Chains A and B, each alone.
Chain A
Amino acid sequence: AQRVTQPEKLLSVFKGAPVELKCNYSYSGSPELFWYVQYSRQRLQLLLRHISRESIKGFTADLNKGETSFHLKKPFAQEEDSAMYYCALNNFNKFYFGSGTKLNVKP
């Protein structure tokens, strides 16, 4: 069965520190993975997807099929990165979301 796990509910770091938000998945085929972000009082929005191998707002995520992980990383966190982050897996247009990690970047 498809599942996305985000083990941390809350992650607090200081500004300028590296940040890694963990995401593990279970999927039998070739996964299509995404990171979505929700800033305070805003709607859910796409941050990045593994297919495009892009870096958005300094964030990157690498698909590791051996470890079935898609962790989100940023070398130097900024206060404006504080938000809820959701990892998601697309299975034939049915998205499975993790329960989310709240990132709090302290000044």
Chain B
Amino acid sequence: GAGVSQSPRYKVAKRGQDVALRCDPISGHVSLFWYQQALGQGPEFLTYFQNEAQLDKSGLPSDRFFAERPEGSVSTLKIQRTQQEDSAVYLCASSFSDRASSFGAGTRLSVL
């Protein structure tokens, strides 16, 4: 594909529901990042993968958040028992070696 692809683009969840957000990085990009962007704020780091290894998950806000990238390509961010404060745009980015990232369009999660 031409760029980072995220699905779904929009997700509405009832409080307490589990959600799964998908990211397809640019082919060949070894690094993959997840960010959370609240309304009116800049993106905030959640976690970082190099191939299938999750090298940094210090930004995950709670143990309800879980990310995986089992084959070093597609990644899934899972949020269990969603809360209203989880409402945000979740951005995925990937990069090869120059550390500047290409971003996806994001998934807008609304928790009611």
Residues of A within 8 A of B (CB): 4, 6, 32, 34, 36, 43-46, 49, 86, 88, 90, 92-100
Task: Using CB atoms and an 8 Å cutoff, list the residues of chain B in contact with chain A.
Answer: 3-4, 31, 33, 35, 40-45, 48, 55-56, 58-59, 91, 93, 99-106
A76 to B102, CA, bound (A): 27
Separation of A46 and B102 alpha carbons in the complex (Å): 7
* Contact in complex: A96, B103 (CB < 8 Å): no
Candidates A34, A49, A93; contact of B55 at CB < 8 Å = A93
Please determine whether B33 and A95 come into contact, CB atoms closer than 8 angstroms: yes
Contact B99 A98, beta carbon cutoff 8 Å = no
If A32-B99, A90-B99, A94-B48 touch, does A99 touch B105 (CB 8 Å cutoff)?
Answer: no
* B33 engages A44 (CB within 8 Å): no
